[in-house]
């Protein structure tokens, strides 16, 4: 991260401390160290990692499993964004990474999202639409052996906890 990015993330941590609002980030260019640096920065700034989602972890190529495991172990959520793209050549790798996080006992730290901005993924253009995670990634996770209780935790309970807004009145 450069100085400006650090400044913005520290400001987000201060706002989080003042308001109780969740923090959701993206990791640029699939950089595992960037993801870990974000967690360090938030932790040092006093953010409650129970309300921090480090996103785009499916883009990490240098440590596709190690970084998400380290982040989950520290208590932040691991966000696998746009993991449901049906034409993504790395889709099976994403399943393996998510399975590694689940098998390590961090099912309460996994979040999924479709996070797409391309017109080709809209239903009207023949794509899977906003339900992309449900129609493409969830079936892959089921096929890999993820049970319904764990899927419910990933799809409902985890986002509910991560995004829960309890105003800071102090």
Q: What is the pLDDT of residue 91?
A: 86
**Residue bearing the bigger pLDDT, 89 or 29:** 89
Structure tokens given for 98: 């998510």
- The residues, ordered by sequence, that sit 6+ positions from 105 with a Cβ below 8 Å of its Cβ are none
Banded model confidence at residue 170, pLDDT cuts 50, 70, 90:
low
Can you give the pTM of this predicted structure? 0.92
**What are 40-99's pLDDT values in tens digits?**
999 999 999 999 999 989 888 877 899 999 999 999 999 998 777 778 888 888 999 999
Per-domain residue ranges of the chain: 3-163
What residues pair up with 104 in beta bridges, in sequence order? none
**What are 112-147's pLDDT values in tens digits?**
988 777 888 888 998 888 888 999 899 999 999 999
Distances (CA, A) of 100 to 68, 97, 168: 9, 5, 35
Query: CATH classification of 3-163 is 3.20.20.140, yes or no?
Result: yes
Q: What is the pLDDT of residue 134?
A: 92
């Amino acid at each position: 991260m450069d100085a400006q990015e650090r400044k913005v993330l520290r400001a987000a941590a201060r706002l989080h401390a003042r308001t109780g609002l969740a923090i959701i980030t993206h990791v640029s260019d699939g950089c595992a160290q960037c993801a870990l640096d974000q967690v360090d920065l938030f932790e040092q700034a006093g953010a409650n990692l129970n309300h921090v989602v480090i996103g785009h972890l499916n883009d990490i190529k240098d440590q596709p499993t190690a970084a998400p495991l380290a982040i989950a172990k520290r208590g932040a959520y691991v966000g696998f964004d746009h993991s449901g793209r049906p034409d993504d050549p790395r889709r099976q790798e994403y399943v393996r990474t998510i399975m590694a996080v689940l098998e390590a006992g961090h099912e309460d730290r996994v979040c999924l999202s479709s996070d797409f901005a391309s017109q080709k993924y809209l239903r009207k253009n023949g794509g899977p639409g906003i339900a992309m995670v449900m129609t493409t990634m969830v079936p892959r996770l089921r096929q890999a052996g993820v049970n319904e209780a764990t899927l419910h935790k990933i799809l409902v309970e985890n986002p509910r906890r991560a995004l829960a807004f309890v105003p800071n009145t102090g």
